[in-house]
Amino acid sequence: MKNILLKFLKNQTKCSHKNALLNTKSGYCPDCGQYLEKNYYIVRCMGCGIKRNAKVYLDEIVPTEKFCSNCGCRGYYIEKTDDINFIDANYAICIKEPACEYQNLHVKEQIWVDPKSSGLKKITKMS
Ligand SMILES: [Zn+2]
Ligand SMILES: [Zn+2]
């Protein structure tokens, strides 16, 4: 009995949700039953604010390079974005995650440094 339960839990944490949210932004994963949201994240340089190439490593979003190719800064922050344009799509990491869970852990504050995002800034502040 114990083994079956452990196996079940193990499978659940391992689920990659690959069959979930194929055409929708949120919904239940058909493989594990979790309610998921499709979220996009962008990694930006702490020094100069440019978008940095990113990848998912051990469930963490990390920049591909250790240092910013623009200013040499090592620091970075993760920005969540709801509206993804096709330029950002090159940098954005799409993650299917349990609703409301990931952003609480990883995105404590949103800093909009791109002047093009001023529209987003206002929307974020109002809500
Ligand atoms: Zn799943
Ligand atoms: Zn930089």
**Residue 12 alpha carbon to ligand 1 centre in Å:** 7
Task: State the first-to-last Cα distance of the chain, in angstroms, to the nearest integer.
Answer: 48
Smallest-distance ligand from the CA of 29: 1
The sign of the CA dihedral 40, 45, 48, 50 is negative
Vertex 97 angle, CA 90 and 41, to 5°: 30
**Residue 95 alpha carbon to ligand 1 centre in Å:** 12
Please indicate, yes or no, whether the overall pTM of this predicted structure exceeds 0.85: no
11-41 confidence digits (pLDDT tens): 545 788 999 999 998 999 999 999 999 888 9
In this structure, what DSSP letter does residue 87 have?
Answer: T
Q: Give the Cα separation of 21 and 31 in Å (integer).
A: 11
Residue with token string 């689920």: 15
88-121 confidence digits (pLDDT tens): 778 889 889 888 654 455 544 444 455 554 444 4
Where do the structural domains in the chain lie, given as residue ranges? 17-126
